[in-house]
Amino acid sequence: QVQLVESGGGVVQPGKSRRLSCAASGFSLSNFGMHWVRQAPGKGLEWVAVLFYDGDESYADSVKGRFTISRDSSNNTLYLELNSLTLEDTAVYFCAKERQQWLVVGAFDNWGQGTLITVSS
Amino acid sequence: DIQLTQSPSSLSASVGDRVTITCQASQDITNYINWFQHKPGKAPKVLIYDASTLEAGVPSRFSGGGSGTHFTLSISSLQPDDIATYYCQQYDNLPPTFGQGTKLEIK
């Protein structure tokens, strides 16, 4: 059974960094594209980044150059490194899995419950 | 990026009612659309994929339809457990994009 569990949220000062984790079980991260999606308080859902099964990465313009997506295949965990945080990065961050192996199109089939990042001085 | 316009933004209905939510895409996305349900503090749950395919384990009262640019999610007989926010999401092109959500309440 697929399970995704995010962690790493909390209160962070503007300009600081934080690393989010998404522990995956029930499948191998290396075979699937994995995404981060966020939802700011009272706002809609915003796609943040994708890690392709072959290691390629892609980012939303709003986070490009500040956020880095990665994985550790040995412990089947996805990461999102958040740097130079601003107030506008305050959101619940979700990880989401692609439905099919070896295909990255944004067809999510499983999501985690999310972890909240609050950027505040 | 492909824009999805979802309506209504909120909906109040009675138990047993039929409910329909619509999603309009800014360009033809064939049938590459998910519908999912999100309850506060929980993981979003995919209900429908490829516009009309029911995800395993999802009650048959949920159904999806449409193709091209116009899509619908219907609940044939609303149940109290269906209280949630519902979203459409396209995967015809990266980046995936989302409708603004429909908050469903019981009258």
How many Cβ atoms sit within 10 Å of the Cβ of residue A87?
A: 11
Give the residue from A45, A38, A49 showing the smallest Cα distance to A90.
A38
pLDDT for A42: 92
User: Cβ contacts (< 8 Å) between B2 and chain A: which residues?
Assistant: none
Q: Given B44, B91, B101, which is nearest A44 (Cβ)? A: B101
pLDDT for A79: 98
pLDDT digits (tens, 9 = 90+) for A77-120: 999 999 999 999 999 999 999 999 999 999 999 999 999 999 99
User: DSSP of chain B, one letter per residue?
Assistant: ---EEEE-SEEEE-TT--EEEEEEESS--TT-EEEEEE-TTS--EEEEETTTEEPTT--TTEEEEEETTEEEEEESS--GGG-EEEEEEE-SSSSPEE---EEEEE-
pLDDT for B77: 97
- Mean pLDDT value of segment B33-47: 96
In terms of CA atoms, which chain B residue is nearest residue A5? B43
Assign A75 a pLDDT band (cuts: 50, 70, 90).
very high
pLDDT for A64: 98
- Give the count of Cβ contacts less than 8 A between chain A and B: 62
Assign A10 a pLDDT band (cuts: 50, 70, 90).
very high
Mean pLDDT of chain A: 97
The Cα of B82 is separated from the nearest Cα of chain A by a number of Å equal to 18
State what percent of residues in chain B have pLDDT above 90.
100
Q: Given A47, A94, A113, which is nearest B96 (Cβ)? A: A47
